[in-house]
Structure 1
Amino acid sequence: MSSKATLHNSMRVYHRYLGFFLAGIMAVYALSGIVLIFRDTSFLKKEKQLTQQLQPGLTAEALGKAIRIRDLKITSVSGDMQTFKQGTYNAQTGSASYTVTVLPALVEKLTHLHKASTKDPLFFLNVFFGVSLFFFVISSFWMFMPKTSIFKKGLYFTLAGVMLTVVLLMV
Structure 2
Amino acid sequence: MAARLLYDVQQRYKPRIYREFLGAEPYTESEFQARYRFSKESIQILTNLLNDDLKRPTNRSHAIPVETQIKIALRYYASGSFMQVIGDTFGYDKSTVSRIIQAVTGAISAHGADFLRWPDETTKPAIINGFYNIARFPCVIGAVDGTHIRIQAPSDNEYAFVNRKNFHSINVQGICGI
**What's the TM-score once normalised by structure 1's chain length?**
0.21
Decide which structure has the larger Cα Rg and report it.
Answer: 1
Q: Give the structure, 1 or 2, with the largest relative contact order (CA under 8 Å, sep 6 or more).
A: 1
Is the strand fraction higher in 1 or 2? 1
